[in-house]
Amino acid sequence: MHELSIAMSIVDMAQEEAQQRGVHITAVHLSLGLLSGVVKDALLSSYDMACDGTPLAGSRLVINEVPVEVYCPSCRAPRTLSSVQWFCCPDCGTATSEVIHGKELEVTALEVEA
Amino acid sequence: MSTEPRLLEVRKNVLKQNDMVARALRQRFRDAGTFVVSLVSSPGAGKTTFLEKTLTLLRPNHNVAALVGDLATDNDAARLARSQAPVKQITTGTLCHLEAAMVQNALEGWLTGKLDFLFIENVGNLVCPSSYDLGEDLRLVLMSTTEGEDKPLKYPTIFNSSDVAVITKIDLADAVEFDEATARANIQAVRPGMDVLKISAKSGAGMEEWLRFLAARQLRQGTTA
For B77-90, what is each residue's pLDDT tens digit?
889 988 999 999 99
Distance CA A88, CA A97 (A): 8
Distance from CA of B127 to the nearest CA of A (A): 6
In angstroms, rounded to a whole number, what is the distance separating the alpha carbons of residues B221 and B225?
11
- CATH level 3 topology of B16-218: Rossmann fold (3.40.50)
Q: B127 contacts in A (CB within 8 Å)?
A: 2, 37
Residue type, A9: S
pLDDT one-digit tens code per residue, A61-86: 999 999 999 999 999 999 999 999 99
* Chain B residues 7-36 within an 8 A CB cutoff of chain A: 7-15, 17
Q: Which domains does chain A have, with CATH numbers?
A: 3-66+100-113 (3.30.2320.50)
Indicate whether B217 pLDDT > 70.
yes
Task: Please indicate whether, in this complex, the C-beta atoms of A112 and B8 are within 8 angstroms of each other.
Answer: yes
Q: How far, CA to CA in Å, does A37 sit from each of A40, B64, B158, B162, B212?
A: 10, 31, 8, 13, 31
Residue B58 scores a pLDDT above 90 = yes
Mean pLDDT of A31-41: 95
φ, ψ for residue A97, nearest 5 deg: -120, 15
Q: Is the pLDDT of residue B224 over 60?
A: no
Supply the pLDDT for residue B113.
87
Task: Specify the amino acid at residue A91.
Answer: D
What confidence category does residue B1 fall into, taking pLDDT thresholds of 50, 70 and 90? low
Domain boundaries defined on chain B: 16-218
Q: Return d(Cα B164, Cα B187) in angstroms, integer.
A: 10
Strands (DSSP E) contained in B30-109 are 35-41, 64-70, 87-91
Decide if A1 and B128 are in contact by the 8 Å CB cutoff: yes
pLDDT exceeds cutoff 80 at B205 = yes
Give the nearest partner residue to A114 out of B1, B127, B189, using CB atoms. B1
| Three-state DSSP state, B213 | helix
Write the pLDDT tens digit of every residue in B110-128.
Answer: 988 899 999 999 999 999 8
Write the CB contacts of A87 (distance below 8 Å, at least 6 apart in sequence). Answer: A70, A81, A95, A96, A97, B160, B189, B190, B191, B192
pLDDT given at position B222: 77
Chosen for mutation from B1, B2, B6, B12 (greatest number of chain A CBs closer than 10 Å) is: B12
Percent of chain B exceeding pLDDT 90 equals: 84
Q: Confidence band (pLDDT; 50, 70, 90) for B3? A: low
Beta strands A105-113 and A99-101 are unpaired
What mean pLDDT, rounded, does chain A reach?
95
Amino acid at A67: P
- Chain B residues in contact with A72 by the CB 8 A cut-off are none
Q: Is A51 on the interface with B (CB under 8 A)?
A: no
| Closest CA–CA distance from residue A42 to any residue of chain B (Å) | 12
- Residue B184's Cα: distance from chain center in Å? 20
In the predicted structure, residue B2 carries a pLDDT above the cut 60: no
Average pLDDT (B130-150) is 96
B-chain residues near A31 (CB < 8 A): none
Model pTM score: 0.92
Beta bridge partners, A70, equal A79, A99
Give the C-alpha separation, B161 to B191, whole Å.
Answer: 9
Identify the pLDDT of residue B225: 46
B157 interfaces chain A, CB cutoff of 8 Å: yes
Residue B221: pLDDT over 90: no
Q: How many helices (H) and strands (E) does chain A have?
A: 2, 6
Give, for B165, the enclosing helix (H) or strand (E).
strand B164-168
Query: Residue B173's CB: how many other CB atoms inside 10 A?
Result: 18
Distance CA B54, CA B61 (A): 12
Q: Which residues in chain A are closer than 8 Å to B7, comparing Cβ atoms?
A: 29, 109-112
